[in-house]
Amino acid sequence: MARIVQKFGGTSVGDIERIRNAALRVKREVDAGNEVAVIVSAMANVTNQLVEYVHEFGALYDQKEYDAVVSSGEQVTSGLMALALQELGIPARSWLSWQIPIHTDDAHGKARIEIIETAEAKKSLATGEVMVVAGFQGIGPDNRVTTLGRGGSDTSAVALAAALEAERCDIFTDVDGVYTCDPRIIAKARKLDKVTYEEMLEMASLGSKVLQPRSVEMAMKYGVRVQVRSTFDEANGTLIVDEDEVLEKEVISGIAYSRDEAKITLVRVADKPGVAADIFGPLSEANINVDMIVQNVSEDGAATDLTFTVTKGDLARAVAVLEERRDDLGYARLVPDPDVVKISIIGVGMRSHAGVAQQMFSALAKEGINIQVISTSEIKVSVLVAEKHTEKALSALHTAYGLDVS
Ligand code: ADP
Ligand code: ASP
Ligand code: MG
């Protein structure tokens, strides 16, 4: 007998029929004699709708009430899933985050799980009852409901699997695993049987939204065995594993993209010590994360151009912060550009291979795609290009690195 965590995403619980279908997947584990905790997302699109309702109240809404509203989708599906299981003759009970409880910090809208109390959960599982847990939500220090950021049910599932020392955490979704690139954009994308925690963390952080980055971080930290698989067929999914479990290492395992980037160029900033600190200090104080940065060499030693990226959602605020300080910073012009995409190649094999980045640059050059900003780390290279080139760039890179299915 083992303890298993199964998570079902929005499409997998998109209507009553699908909830019944997902319940059959749970039944199989129960019939095999396992203790099962199920995490559910809200029904497909429900969270988007709830977010839109909140946005009706303007941009400066109360974050605690945002969480009260957007966490509600998961309450509905947890109850419905418990009913679907009961219909199959399986004892099941829904659990909201405060009932377990799942404690988080107070960062409403993007809270982090701090500790999960497991005494009640373990007692319940030991009776043979299936726990159906509302994903995405937690309970903050002041006992108010919090949410974990979009896609956060993945993190609820992995965190619960870690806390319960579960043998497996299966993430059921609408694709049958992690692919070399988003299969909805690249038809020739290939399913990976295994991917390392590190690569998956980069892919997720760089835009592959099949898993929330925080869930991968947590799986890596606690050694949770995560498998991404389809709710709709029986195919084996993708296992996320330690690096030594991957025998044949590809140089590039995946290509990710993020449209959630916006570029800001400050034209003719003074080229002298302290300027970067003067620009990025106020942005960081305003809680705006800066991602890629490039500073051009100044021709006359007096002024230079500085380009960097922020998320699309932060663009307006970043522009406001910089314009407010225009006199102190003394730049000639500020040019915002939301029409950009960040494309990244990821692979642990990069550590031991030279020329990987060069291959990326020439594949893009061959397509006539101009690279605006570059950033690298040990296992990834990212470039910023015009958003209209997204599909063409992904497809060219996928072919260039030999990732296309034959
Ligand atoms: P769920 O609602 O089940 O959590 P998500 O929409 O959050 O599902 O995540 C699944 C989606 O992630 C897929 O439909 C796919 O379009 C997208 N995706 C992006 N990159 C990848 C990738 N490399 N491999 C698989 N899916 C990916
Ligand atoms: N329902 C939430 C969202 O849409 C959480 C999740 O699906 O993981 O972001
Ligand atoms: Mg998701």
Q: Is the pLDDT of residue 248 over 80?
A: no
Which is the CATH superfamily of the domain at 341-400?
A: VC0802-like (3.30.2130.10)
Regarding the beta carbon of 42 and ligand 2, being less than 6 Å apart is answered yes
Sheet holding 145-147, edge to edge: 113-116, 102-104, 137-139, 145-147
Share of the chain above pLDDT 70, in %: 100
Within 10 angstroms of residue 3's Cβ, the number of other Cβ atoms is 18
CA 386 to chain centre: 22
Domain spans of the chain? 3-174, 263-337, 341-400
Kindly state the average pLDDT of the residues 94-112: 96
User: Does residue 379 surpass a pLDDT of 90?
Assistant: yes
Domain 263-337 falls in which CATH fold?
Alpha-Beta Plaits (3.30.70)
The DSSP-derived string for 33-65 is T-EEEEEE--STTHHHHHHHHHHTT-SS--HHH
pLDDT of the residue at 63: 93
Pocket residues: Cβ below 6 A from ligand 1? 9-12, 41, 151, 173-175, 178-179, 181-184, 208-210, 254
Give pLDDT tens digits for 318-352: 999 999 999 988 899 999 999 999 999 999 989 98
Task: Looking at the CA of residue 148, tell me the nearest atom of ligand 2.
Answer: 5
Q: Which strands, in side-by-side order, build the sheet including 194-196?
A: 92-95, 130-134, 35-40, 3-8, 168-173, 226-230, 238-241, 194-196
Cα–Cα distance between 359 and 401 in angstroms, integer? Answer: 8
pLDDT tier for residue 279 given thresholds of 50, 70 and 90: very high
Which residues place a Cβ less than 5 A from the ion ligand 3? 9, 151
Q: Is the pLDDT of residue 59 over 90?
A: no
Question: Is 80 exceeded by the pLDDT of residue 249?
Answer: no
CATH topology of domain 3-174: Carbamate kinase (3.40.1160)
- As beta bridge partners, residue 333 has 267
CA of 184 to the centre of ligand 2 (A): 19
Cβ atoms of 85 and 27 closer than 8 Å: yes
pLDDT (average), residues 182-194: 96
pLDDT band, very low/low/confident/very high, at 246 (cuts 50, 70, 90): confident
Mean pLDDT check: name the lowest of 193-197, 280-284, 302-306: 302-306
